[in-house]
Amino acid sequence: MRLLTWNVNVLRTCLDYHPFSSMKKKNVEGLLDELHADIFCFQEHKTVRSRLEKSMACPGPYDGFWTFPRSKTGYSGVCTYVDSRYCVPLKAEEGITGLLLDDAKGSTMKPPWTPEERIGQYPEFEEMIWMDEVDGTSFDPKRLDMEGRAVVCDFGLFILFNLYCPNETNDTRRPYKMNFLQALQERVRLLQAAGREVIIAGDINIMRAPIDSGEGGIRTSAEQHYEHPARRIMDNWCAPKGPMVDVVRESWPDRDDMFTCWNQKLDARPSNYGSRIDMILCTPGLRPWIKGGDILTKVFGSDHCPVYIDLHESIEVPGHGTLHLRDMLNPLDRTPSTAPVYPNDVPRSAPEPPRFATKFFDEFSGKQTTLKSFFGGGGAGKKARAGDEVVAPSPSPTPTPVPTETTKEDTPAPLDIIPSPMAPSSPDQSIATPFSLARAAFNAMDEPAQAASPNSDKITFPNGEASASSTRQTSRDTAIDMSVDDDPTPSIIKPKIIKPRNDSKTKTLSSSAKSATGSQTKLSSFFAQPPSKAKRKTPPLPSPSSSQSATKPKRPSLASISSSPSRSPSTTTVVRHSPPPSFTDSQAEAKSLTVEEDQLISQAIAEADAAKEAKKAEAAPIWSNLFAKKLPPLCAVHHKPCKDFIVMKPGPNKGKRFWLCSLPVGAGYDMGRSKRAREDVNPNFRCDFFLWDSANSRKESTYGGKEG
């Protein structure tokens, strides 16, 4: 059997990373199958209960046990999954103190735990000494379980603690962290005193020894490692000083760089500069069952990697013979679950889990009616009861023929209706619903009118019926009677003729409806070729000569002048016609210029062109430098191009870009003079170079070099 722990850092996002992104079953059940374990302890699921989906709460054959933070949303939270095909826990609860089990408002399970459902052996908090808060106030032990940091399951052979221990982000969190460790140690001590074995798995948030730190190789860091009180407590609790066994470290006692957590802000995972804060501890009585443990560094999706231990399927115990693990985890005399089973529950062969399981939440147990059930179409699947009349659906209706109208008289001409071979033969097949009539009407309106035969006066309709009207109009000019004949067996549907209105709009529709494509403009007409020149209504633009002749008045001829009565016959008037302006005038004017004038004009044009080119050449470098691409700056120590980052922390600098040394971080990388002594700096790793992007003046040069 394999037991695995992993700080997933948002469970739903792990599916987008290797190796889960290529799964066929891309959900939590597929993730559990891919990890190949039997018991899973996840931390920091960061899921609010109102957003918990059934695929996460009840993933196939796995039983889930979830706890949530009471104050913050999207923070903390742990969950345990158990493969019911292998074993089912006997009891399950949340928290390490037991104070939530009596709280009807604060506990996840409603109603709270009964005495028979509790695991027991809780600390006596009145007798314990707690570290006060930073401001001097007394610490409230109820706060220890209010952040959703523990799920405890009783498997008979052992009691499993799935923990997300507090991280000391600042000085105000130190009392909470130290009190949490104190309560945990006291609970484990009481369980051991009662003869129970314990396994602690999860994110302990403590580097136990210098070898578990990326800074362990630095002499100064090793000397200062145990100055933190939490590290001393953890080191004194584990063997050989204490009762707990660090299974993975005991499996690999001299293995360096066996880290399980890396700082994503520093991109420390590629260089394996991290820490080992995820552990699996057990009491000495379980050591014969332990086969070994290791870490899974090739599993991505979080800033942590999974840690697992394997247990033997059977062991030889002197005086007891062979003991099988499955028999120890699934006793025959187990107490039945107190959880109610609803009819909608999926049947299973394994025993029912404790009532704390997520499958018994009201939203997943089948007790509540879901919105999906209202749209399930249950009425269609019900069988017809005896004596109920089964009404068969009517076939698709035949469109009602649209009669034509006459323009000379108010009464229409006699219509010769040719019965269609698809005409209804019984009342049940007739058009009997408003929707059928409307569909028939719209079909008749949308279908193009067919041209009449020259040898026949009849008009054939789309459904096979014909009309003998002498005048044909479109279906848009004819109103259709949407009423149904009262006669249950009509032989002929009598059309109702309405005389069209004699207004301009009707005439426009009538004229436009005479086209061969029908009365409605089709979408294809908007993509047709434009009309030819001959069909254009817009007259062509006049030529320059014609415009001049149109604007200038017509000059009288010599004949008209001579025949004018106002002129004396003895007077002779000579009219000199000036030639119309044309290109010949400009040519003549150009020829009339002297050679000196021509040279001056050419010289002025050349000087203007030269000044323009000189101005362009002068502005070109300025514009090129303004729009030149910025180059990464060079760090001061390694003289290598830096790597850019963006500030994501809320504040005045959020969104700003800055540059750091591109070398990876590692043991002894330069954190700055205030944080690391110069003799401990390792020049093979990142230096302390920092530069805001606004101060970076290094740009590409368009002349083949680099500026800056």
Feature table: binding site for Mg(2+):
7, 44, 203, 205, 303-304
Tell me the C-alpha distance between 162 and 148, whole Å.
11
CA–CA distances in Å: residue 364 to residues 30, 370, 606: 20, 9, 88
Determine the 3-state secondary structure of 641 from DSSP: strand
Active site residue 203: yes
Q: Using CA atoms, how far apart are residues 602 and 112, in angstroms rounded to an integer?
A: 103
Longest dimension (CA), the chain: 163
CB count within 10 Å of CB 622 equals: 8
Strands 198-203 and 159-164, by their bridges, are: parallel
Q: Is 239 helix (H, G, I), strand (E, B) or coil?
A: coil
**DSSP code of residue 374:** G
What is the separation, in whole angstroms, between the first and last Cα of the chain?
62
Angle at 688 between CA 685 and CA 694, to 5 degrees: 125
CA dist., res. 648 & res. 657, Å (int): 10
Single out the catalytic residue among 81, 164, 176, 273.
164
Which residues make up each annotated binding site? 7, 44, 203, 205, 303-304
Residue among 41, 78, 411 at smallest CA distance from 200: 41
| Burial 541-565, CB ≥16 within 10 A → b, else e | eeeeeeeeeeeeeeeeeeeeeeeee
669 is catalytic: no
DSSP 13-58: GGGGSTTTTT-SS-SHHHHHHHHT-SEEEEE-----GGG--HHHHS
- How many other β-carbons are positioned within 10 Å of the β-carbon of residue 307? 26
Given the residues 62, 304, 308, 688, the one annotated as active site: 304
Residues of the chain by 3-state class (helix, strand, coil), percent to 5: 30, 15, 55
CB burial class (10 A; 0-12, 13-18, 19+) of residue 640?
Answer: middle
The verdict on whether 17 is a catalytic residue reads: no
Measured between alpha carbons, how far is 227 from 213 in angstroms, rounded to an integer? 14
Distance, in Å, from the CA atom of 32 to the CA atom of 36, rounded to the nearest integer, reads: 7
From the list 38, 154, 203, 212, the catalytic residue is 203
- Output b/e per residue, 123-145; b: 16+ Cβ within 10 A: bebeeeebeeeeeeeeeebebbb
Quick one: CA dihedral 27, 31, 37, 42, positive or negative? Answer: negative
Q: Which residues are catalytically annotated?
A: 164, 203, 304
